[in-house]
Amino acid sequence: MNTHKCPNIEEFKKILKSKNLKATPQRLAVHEAMMALGHASADMITEEIISKGTTKVTVASVYNILTNLAMLGIYDYRMSSNNKMYFDVNTFHHIHLYDKENHMFKDIIDDELIALIEAHLGRKRFKGYKIEGIDIQLIGKPTRKKYFV
């Protein structure tokens, strides 16, 4: 199995089953939207689902589904600098590029870079702490200007 892909809808159904969760239309719609958006807040996911018009959801129900799935480790989550909780459909180890103008995350898949950083940090000691993980995030802004008409 490719560990650099998020679960497709069939794999997602199996994951739900393994966690004793029903594959409700709302949960499936959330995952469809997560696959489309990659990283998104509950508001963004709700908007995406409503724009499709096939499943009835509210921001509150979407938020509950997302946090529940994040607590189970099915999704990852991170805060944006404008203080929104973004959920991440990819739970494998990866690097983020944060667009600070549009508040969007992009994934950077670079196992070699992660291995280099981990090897380097693995030799270091941080007094009083046991390091549990490394979270790499680059911060940038778009080089191309957007024109609004």
Interacting residues with Zn ion (CB under 5 A): 88, 90, 107
Q: How far is CA 68 from the centre of its chain?
A: 14
Q: Tokens 């802004």 identify what position?
A: 141
Q: How far is the CB of 35 from Zn ion (least distance, A)?
A: 13
Least distance to Zn ion, CB of residue 99, Å = 13
Rg (CA), the chain: 17
Closest to Zn ion by CB, 48 or 88: 88
Q: State the minimum distance, in angstroms, from the CB of residue 77 to Zn ion.
A: 10
Between 57 and 89, name the residue whose CB sits nearer to Zn ion. Answer: 89
CB 36 → Zn ion: shortest distance, Å?
14
Cα 99–Cα 105–Cα 86 angle in degrees, nearest 5: 120
Q: Among candidates 22, 26, 66, which has minimal Cα distance to 42?
A: 66
Instruction: Give the residue with the Cβ less far from Zn ion, 50 or 136.
Output: 136
Distance CA 16, CA 27 (A): 9
Residue 47: DSSP 8-state: H
Complex with Zn ion: residue 63 or 75, whichever CB lies closer: 75
Cα 102 from Cα 79, distance rounded (Å) = 14
